[in-house]
Amino acid sequence: MKKPLKQTLRNSLQDCKRYPDNRDALTRILPLVRQEYKVRTQRQSIPFGEFLLRQIAFLGKRVWFSQALLLFLLCLLVNTGYNIRSGITRLTFVPFLLGCCSVILLTAAVPMLYRSVRFQMLETEAATHFSVSRLLLARLCIIGSGDLVMLGALLLFAVQKSGLSPGGILLYLLVPFLLTASGYLTILAHMAYRFFPYLGSAMSACLLAGLCYLKKWQPAFYGHTFTPGWGMVCLILLLFCMWQVKTISRRDRFIEGRFRLG
């Protein structure tokens, strides 16, 4: 609210309180109220693309630098796993490591998505003209683009280093990644936001435990390659992720503890 309007409103309300029939105060304030209302109705909302570019300038560099550092550590982990194993054990251990890396890629994004609550800024963001859903979608776009680049880099590194088939490497990177992403997006779309780090971390731990179980008790699982059947599974998971993102985008209002449709 502009300063002249605030001052006039304060003075006029004081006059109205002293003199209830003082029409002069109302006469002075009405033109300013109409002017302010006209200005507010003429404001145009920022398209999501422009809003995303602003968020990239504000948050992108820090997120992508963190992801680049994580990518270096994961490549070092895969390289170490390749060197310490030999023969038949390498054929199962390296795919197992790749599956774990794809889960870790998204697990590392939990603090970035939860930073509003962690720094107690959620109420401030909710009070702005931009909905929390748009902020969340922008962060998902920034983090997701970095994760896709990291996934591609891991794929190229593993193909060059391990000598495994590109189809097998793609399978053990992509399926755990899409499973983790679908779980995270489901939590964000339907669960309480304050529970996200706990539920997301628990889900990642369960996926890692499942990969360990397959390695120990079903090692033949790590001998598969990317087939049309697995491609269909990945397509279903991808469509499910897109559906959850659409659900998040439709939630215009946010209340701590739960989402509510606007």
Say how many Å lie between the first and final Cα of the chain, rounded: 25
Cα-based distances in Å from 28 to 25, 38, 40, 166? 5, 17, 20, 75
Dihedral of alpha carbons 218, 220, 225, 229, sign: negative
Give 213: exposed, middle or buried? Use CB within 10 Å, 0-12, 13-18, 19+: exposed
Kind and range of the H or E run holding 254? strand 253-255
Query: Sorting pLDDT into bands at 50, 70 and 90, what band is 135?
Result: confident
Query: Sorting pLDDT into bands at 50, 70 and 90, what band is 101?
Result: very high
Answer for the pair 85, 94: CB distance below 8 angstroms, yes or no: yes
pLDDT per residue as tens digits for the range 212-260? 999 888 888 888 888 899 999 999 999 999 999 988 887 654 444 444 4
pLDDT per residue as tens digits for the range 149-204? 999 999 999 888 877 788 889 999 999 999 999 999 999 888 877 788 889 999 99
Rounded-to-integer distance, Cα 112 and Cα 136, Å:
10
3-state secondary structure of 260: strand
3-state secondary structure of 255: strand
pLDDT of residue 94: 85
